Amino acid sequence: MTLLPLDPDQLLSTTRAVRRRLDLTRPVPNDLIRECVAMALQAPSGGNEIVMRFVVVRDPAVIRAVGDVYAQCWTKYEASPRFAGKLPRHTDELRAQQGRVVSSAAYLAEHMGDCPVLVIGYLNRRLDGATGAAAAAALCSVLPGMWSFMLAARARGLGTAWTTIHLMMEEVVADLVGIPYATTQQVCLTPVAWTDGTDFKPALRPDPDAIIDWR
Ligand X SMILES: Cc1cc2nc3c(=O)[nH]c(=O)nc-3n(C[C@H](O)[C@H](O)[C@H](O)COP(=O)(O)O)c2cc1C
Closest to ligand X by CB, 51 or 101: 101
For residue 65, the minimal CB distance to ligand X (Å) is 18
The stretch near ligand X (CB under 6 A) out of 38-46, 53-61, 134-142, 161-169 is 161-169
- Per rule CB under 6 A, is residue 176 in the interface with ligand X? no
The H or E element spanning position 192 is: strand 185-194
For residue 188, the minimal CB distance to ligand X (Å) is 7
Closest to ligand X by CB, 36 or 188: 188
Question: For 128-203, where are the alpha helices, taking DSSP H only?
Answer: 132-139, 143-155, 170-177
For residue 169, the minimal CB distance to ligand X (Å) is 12
Give the 3-state secondary structure of residue 20: coil
- Residues contacting 200, CB < 8 A, separation 6+: 14, 15, 16, 18, 154
For residue 19, the minimal CB distance to ligand X (Å) is 6
Give the 3-state secondary structure of residue 182: helix
| Burial of 14 from C-beta contacts in 10 A (0-12 / 13-18 / 19+) | middle
The stretch near ligand X (CB under 6 A) out of 116-124, 126-134, 148-156, 162-170 is 162-170
**What are the angstrom distances between the C-alpha of 71 and each of 23, 99, 100, 107, 150?**
19, 19, 18, 10, 22
- Per rule CB under 6 A, is residue 137 in the interface with ligand X? no
- Window 67-106: residues binding ligand X (CB under 6 A): 101, 105
CA distance linking residue 108 with residue 189, whole number of Å: 12
Closest to ligand X by CB, 30 or 204: 204
For residue 31, the minimal CB distance to ligand X (Å) is 26
- Window 15-74: residues binding ligand X (CB under 6 A): 16-17
CA distance linking residue 21 with residue 138, whole number of Å: 33
Using CB under 6 A as the criterion, which residues of the chain lie in contact with ligand X when the complex forms? 16-17, 101, 105, 108, 161-165, 203
